[in-house]
Amino acid sequence: MVADKFTRRIHLAMVLTSALGLQLAISHGELGYWWQWLEVALVGAVAWLCARYMAPSDPIRDKRVMGLLLAVVAGHFVMEQVLYQTMPRAGQLFEGQMSLSLRNLMIASLAFRAEKRIANLATLTSLALMAVSVFMSVYWSVTICGIVYAVLGVGYLVTSYWERISGRFPEGTKSEIPRGAVGLAFCLAVFLAAAAIGIAGTNHATRALAGFMPSSGGNQISDSRSQGGVGDGDDLVQGTKDAMSFGPTESEVFLESKMPSLFDVFNDTYDAPIVKKTARQKAVSLPRSEMEHRHSRVATTKSKGNDFSLLRKNEARRQKSLDDKKSPALFYVKGRVPLHLRTTIYDHFDGVNLQAAESHQEPPIKLIKENGVPWYHVSCPLSDEHIHSTEEHLLKFINLKTDRIPAPARLARFQIKDVDREEMFGLATDGHPRITVDFIPQLTVMRVQSSLVSSPTLLGDYATSKFRQSISVPDHEASIASIRELAHEWTSDLPPGWQQIAAVRDRLRSEYKSAPNSQLSEEVEFPVESFLLETKQGPDYLFATATSLLLRELGYSSRVVSGFYADPQNFDVGTWQTPVFKDNVHFWVEVSWDGKVWHPVEPTPGYELLAPRLTPWQRLHAVCLAAGKWCVSNWIPLSIGAVLMVAVCALFKRLADVVLRLANRYVRFGSERNRVLWTAKLMQWRARLQGRRRPQGQTFTKWIQECSQPISPEFIAATNWALYSPTLSCPLSHAEIGRVCDEAFTTLVHSPSLKNPASSSKELL
């Protein structure tokens, strides 16, 4: 038995460190999701409550304890199957399920660690799980957990051995556990581990583990829940954090394949454009431009990839076969989502067609090496004081054929490992970054870094001043009266700046409906007017174009952009990646106060922009604010629930009496002996609720006679027979047993509350 308090604390720390290490290993070095920790808390709480109220004298032989330990193991397997049926990518492979089930067994065993054999079970389980965590992961946080566990394990062995030999010292010898030495060793080990990691860095290695179980490790058997390895499974692009093992070789730069082109993807998503009309009555330039007059006719570009018509034919969707790889994704995003990735910039609009500019004034991309690593820097002139944080994402190209680099808003720089030739990248005619070969090769991994700006910054004095200075109201002849009136109506009571931009965005998101499959009639002269004033529903490109025109009428520089939307609903918890499919093609808007830094605006309902990371205090504030709003909006059911809870607390004992009486009367267990024992057990439960537990060592019949009104001799005789006469027949008939048990329980309920000294009980039943 673990007796010393210091030893028990070390044992508890070992188990918790093992549980933390396992969680970090299966969550790729992070803490994972709150519901995973909720499972640990529930298992520990249930085990503690059972240990307290069962009070087993011999847990290793108690069937209830063994049943509980088996239940927490089997319960996780059941939960995994439910997850697999509802969210296939949210589950674990068999080895992960086994590890988490053993973790539950280890946590539940803590409640019964007074029994030496159960304590040893928890210790050995923690050792096995810690070893699995270290071997299955290469994350520095797991390594630290392994070092801490090793030191704690040595301390546990030392203190346990010291306890065993403490009784063998000569009389008068002072024998204490060397706590100081154990604590010093612990601190020294943690310090050395932190120093080693700081010196060596936290780079990771790619591992491919092929085995007999389904995985993505190259064993010809794949599983959607795979979490590591490389090969031929669904988890093809998992790799490690950097996943540079999938980078292109020199021969792959000119790879040919059957991948769909970017324009094919757009056509498959939005259907083909209708035949263009020969005449246009309205011509509008979206951004503020000093090079040409606003109402001048914009020539239609001859490049089909840079021209997008708002009027589409409702053709059958053309499905491209992706023969090169099993994955249906065009590419994968590793990092926080949602994420907007721009590929095309539309600067002009002739009433029906969005057209890309044929020239730009953006500075060229610069190649800069940092510590020998090549980075391609893009012009993003934002001062550090206005940048909230820098966000990094990995893009892993699988089935997309394009020379455009999918770029997040405010792209600062990007890289492909070992690609250090400046002529490999440049700017397209519309100013968007591109690779100078035909398309980005398959299996290329690109790292992109972008700057995030918070809403308070955009609402601040600096941004407001910049927006006011950039406002240039369009000529009356070039503007559209109906759209101008609508824009001023929506922003009439707001000062110029981001507040007006946000008002236009919010109005569209709240009062208009996203209808991706809706089609406008080919006879519509101006689709945006029809969308804003009549239908009030449509695809995302109508939302984007309408927003840009509304902002233009207010004098802001705006442009429509298209690209891809990394949807959080597609986020894979197994690989921590988000696949981007053909259906994720999307349009949105960007605004600028200087024509150099463009800020995204998302007007389409159902789509969200990536928000900057919150500090712990900001998260707490956001949670409290959201909880407060929810309580205000649901005050009626909350009030009813509160009244019911108060009523239940006030009438708890009476309600418990009703429930126990019904259980005594209608729950049957077959034999007369079980019937009597069931009633006796319910009596003890009811007495505990009243604070009158049966004292240890006192027989049930003597105790029930003391704490209740006179109990019928028939029930006393039946109880003695059920407890102590296993071979004799029942002294009462089956009908009499039921009547006697009901009367005895009713007598206990109506007995006055007698004071009975509380002490720890020992169950005889």
Q: Is the pLDDT of residue 443 over 50?
A: yes
Q: Which three-class secondary structure string do you get for 474-496?
A: CCCCCCCHHHHHHHHHHHCCCCC
Q: Which helix (H) or strand (E) holds 377?
A: strand 373-377
Tens-place pLDDT, residues 535-562: 888 888 899 999 999 998 898 989 999 9
Separation of alpha carbons 569 and 584, rounded Å: 11
What angle separates helix 672-689 from helix 734-749, to the nearest 10 degrees? 0
CA-wise closest residue to 72 among 110, 109, 35, 105: 105
- Per-residue pLDDT averaged across 596-600, rounded? 89
23-32, 286-295, 682-691 — which is least confidently predicted? 286-295
DSSP single-letter state for residue 215: S
Q: Is the pLDDT of residue 587 over 90?
A: yes
Q: Which amino acid is at 87?
A: M
In this predicted structure, what is the pLDDT of residue 339?
93
- Per-residue pLDDT averaged across 276-291, rounded? 49
Residues forming beta bridges with residue 389, ordered by sequence position: 452
Q: Which three-class secondary structure string do you get for 501-521?
A: HHHHHHHHHHHCEECCCCCCC
- Per-residue pLDDT averaged across 606-626, rounded? 83
CA-wise closest residue to 551 among 528, 530, 535, 534: 528
Lookup: tokens for 485: 């009136």
CA-wise closest residue to 434 among 505, 324, 545, 344: 344
Length of the chain: 765
Cis peptide before 338 (omega within 30 of 0): yes
In this predicted structure, what is the pLDDT of residue 206?
40
Strand-pair category, 537-538 with 513-514:
parallel
38-42, 155-159, 178-182, 548-552 — which is least confidently predicted? 178-182
User: CA triplet 617, 623, 624: central angle to 5 degrees?
Assistant: 90
CA atoms within 13 A on the CB side of 257: 24
In this predicted structure, what is the pLDDT of residue 146?
85
Q: Is the pLDDT of residue 508 over 90?
A: yes
Q: Which helix (H) or strand (E) holds 393?
A: strand 389-397
C-alpha 281: how far from its chain's center? 50
Q: Is the pLDDT of residue 468 over 80?
A: yes
- Which residues, including other chains, have CB under 8 Å from residue 461's CB and lie 6 or more apart? none
Residues forming beta bridges with residue 397, ordered by sequence position: 331
Predicted confidence band of residue 281 (pLDDT cuts 50, 70, 90): very low
36-50, 318-332, 510-524, 613-627 — which is least confidently predicted? 318-332
In this predicted structure, what is the pLDDT of residue 604?
93
Could you tell me the CA-to-CA distances from 434 to 422, 426, 540 in Å, in that order? 12, 6, 25
Q: Is the pLDDT of residue 276 over 80?
A: no
Helices vs strands, H then E, count in the chain: 21, 19
Residues forming beta bridges with residue 256, ordered by sequence position: none
Q: Which amino acid is at 296?
A: S
- Which residues, including other chains, have CB under 8 Å from residue 76's CB and lie 6 or more apart? 39, 97, 100, 101, 104
672: number of Cβ within 10 Å: 21
Supply the mean pLDDT for the chain.
Answer: 76
In this predicted structure, what is the pLDDT of residue 4?
66
Task: Indicate the SS3 state at residue 526.
Answer: coil
CA-wise closest residue to 664 among 756, 585, 748, 732: 748
Give the residue with greater pLDDT, 268 vs 421: 421
Query: Under a CB-based contact definition with an 8 Å cutoff, are residues 346 and 356 in contact?
Result: yes
- Which residues, including other chains, have CB under 8 Å from residue 623's CB and lie 6 or more apart? none
Predicted confidence band of residue 700 (pLDDT cuts 50, 70, 90): confident
Could you tell me the CA-to-CA distances from 467 to 420, 459, 494 in Å, in that order? 38, 10, 14
Predicted confidence band of residue 231 (pLDDT cuts 50, 70, 90): very low
Tens-place pLDDT, residues 322-365: 444 455 788 899 888 899 999 988 888 877 788 887 777 778 88
Separation of alpha carbons 419 and 369, rounded Å: 11
Tens-place pLDDT, residues 115-124: 888 888 888 8
Q: Which amino acid is at 506?
A: D
Residue holding tokens 């009104």? 709
Residue holding tokens 């005449």? 279
In this predicted structure, what is the pLDDT of residue 199?
58
User: CA triplet 265, 563, 552: central angle to 5 degrees?
Assistant: 130
757: number of Cβ within 10 Å: 7
In this predicted structure, what is the pLDDT of residue 564?
93
Strand-pair category, 585-592 with 557-566:
antiparallel
Lookup: tokens for 12: 């508890």
CA-wise closest residue to 9 among 185, 193, 168, 183: 183
- Per-residue pLDDT averaged across 465-476, rounded? 83
Sign of CA dihedral 210, 213, 214, 215: negative
Tens-place pLDDT, residues 729-738: 888 887 788 8
Give the residue with greater pLDDT, 241 vs 24: 24
240-249, 386-395, 463-472 — which is least confidently predicted? 240-249
- Which residues, including other chains, have CB under 8 Å from residue 279's CB and lie 6 or more apart? none
Lookup: tokens for 323: 């023969």
Query: Under a CB-based contact definition with an 8 Å cutoff, are residues 113 and 122 in contact?
Result: yes
Residue 280 backbone dihedrals phi, psi, to 5 degrees:
-130, 130
Separation of alpha carbons 517 and 270, rounded Å: 8
Percent residues over pLDDT 70 in the chain: 74
CA-wise closest residue to 404 among 326, 345, 450, 466: 345
Which of 139-143, 144-148, 571-575 tops mean pLDDT?
A: 144-148
Could you tell me the CA-to-CA distances from 127 to 11, 15, 19, 108, 185 in Å, in that order? 11, 9, 10, 16, 19
In this predicted structure, what is the pLDDT of residue 286?
60
C-alpha 419: how far from its chain's center? 34
Separation of alpha carbons 436 and 427, rounded Å: 9
Lookup: tokens for 560: 């429509």
Residues forming beta bridges with residue 411, ordered by sequence position: 450
In this predicted structure, what is the pLDDT of residue 601?
93
6-20, 163-177, 189-203, 614-628 — which is least confidently predicted? 163-177
Separation of alpha carbons 202 and 140, rounded Å: 6
CA-wise closest residue to 605 among 693, 706, 514: 514
| First vs last C-alpha separation in the chain | 26
Return left, alpha or beta for 308; rule: phi > 0 is left, psi -120 to 50 is alpha, else beta. Answer: beta
Strand-pair category, 445-452 with 389-397:
antiparallel
